[in-house]
């Protein structure tokens, strides 16, 4: 079966750095997405990786290793507004998205 | 800012009622999706459409139906609501760009008593 694993919850301090990991086993791979979802709101797109390596976008970076079935989202200079759930999703061989359950990130002052 | 809208945002209804959740987008996207999401759980695809008059069922078994008569409109209908249908329903769309980024509506939170 297809599976996306990410930690259920993480806690970090304002101003610090946090890394959220995602491992996947899917039938084929056509890209990996990270979305941010604040409580009670819709998910919003953060990043897309299809090749191995690091993609940097401001305070957020996303890394992919296809051979290891592994990705991480790195958040720097954490702000209180970064408290949200972070969803990892993989596009499989049929170009359908397989979603992880999300990692709830709690930022403390 | 994404131009995709869902109504109603919140709905509480009794068992056996028929309901339609509306979804409209003004981006001219061909591909539209309905997801179901329970708190702390992954999104489950229940229906999708790749264009007018095209609809497919997703991975999650669902007693709902959809229609796609116009590009911008993708309503979801439950003929007879049950308490097991209580959930958050998210509509999304995407264009033909390389990343395949999804744009989500704000969701419809349904409670069936």
Q: In this complex, do B106 and A100 lie within 8 Å of one another by their Cβ atoms?
A: no
Tens digits of residue pLDDT in B54-69:
999 987 767 899 999 9
B104 contact A CB<8A: yes
Phi/psi class of residue A102: alpha, beta or left (left: φ > 0; alpha: ψ in -120 to 50)? Answer: left
Residue A43 has its nearest CB partner, among B44, B100, B104, at B104
Contact A24, A32 (CB under 8 A): yes
Asked if B40 lies within 8 A of A95 by C-beta distance, the reply is no
Higher pLDDT, B80 or A2: B80
**3-class secondary-structure state, position B15:** coil
The answer, for B40 touching chain A at a CB cutoff of 8 Å, is yes
What are the tens digits of pLDDT across the range B80-113?
A: 999 999 999 999 999 766 667 899 999 999 999 9
Q: Does B102 sit within 8 Å of A97, measured CB to CB?
A: yes
Q: Which of A9-18, B36-45, B55-64, B75-84 has the lowest mean pLDDT?
A: B55-64
């Amino acid at each position: 079966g297809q599976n996306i694993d990410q930690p259920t919850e993480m806690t970090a301090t304002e101003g610090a750095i946090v890394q959220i990991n995602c491992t996947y086993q899917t039938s084929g791979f056509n890209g990996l997405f990270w979305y941010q979802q604040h409580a009670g709101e819709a998910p919003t797109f953060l990043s897309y990786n299809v090749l191995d390596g690091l993609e940097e976008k401001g305070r957020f970076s996303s890394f992919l290793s296809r051979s290891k079935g592994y990705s991480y989202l790195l958040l720097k200079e954490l702000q209180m507004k970064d408290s949200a759930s972070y969803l990892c999703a993989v596009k499989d061989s049929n170009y359908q998205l397989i979603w992880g359950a999300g990692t709830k990130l709690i930022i403390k002052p | 800012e994404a131009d995709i809208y869902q109504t109603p945002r919140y709905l509480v209804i009794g068992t056996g009622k028929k309901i339609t959740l509306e979804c409209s987008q003004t981006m001219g996207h061909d591909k539209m999706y309905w997801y179901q999401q329970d708190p702390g759980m992954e999104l489950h695809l229940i229906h999708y459409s790749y264009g007018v008059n095209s609809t497919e069922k997703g991975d999650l078994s669902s007693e709902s139906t959809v229609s796609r008569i116009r590009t911008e409109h993708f309503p979801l209908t439950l003929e007879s609501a049950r308490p097991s249908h209580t959930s958050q329903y998210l509509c999304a769309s995407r264009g033909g760009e390389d990343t395949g980024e999804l744009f989500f509506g704000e969701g419809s939170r349904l409670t069936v008593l």
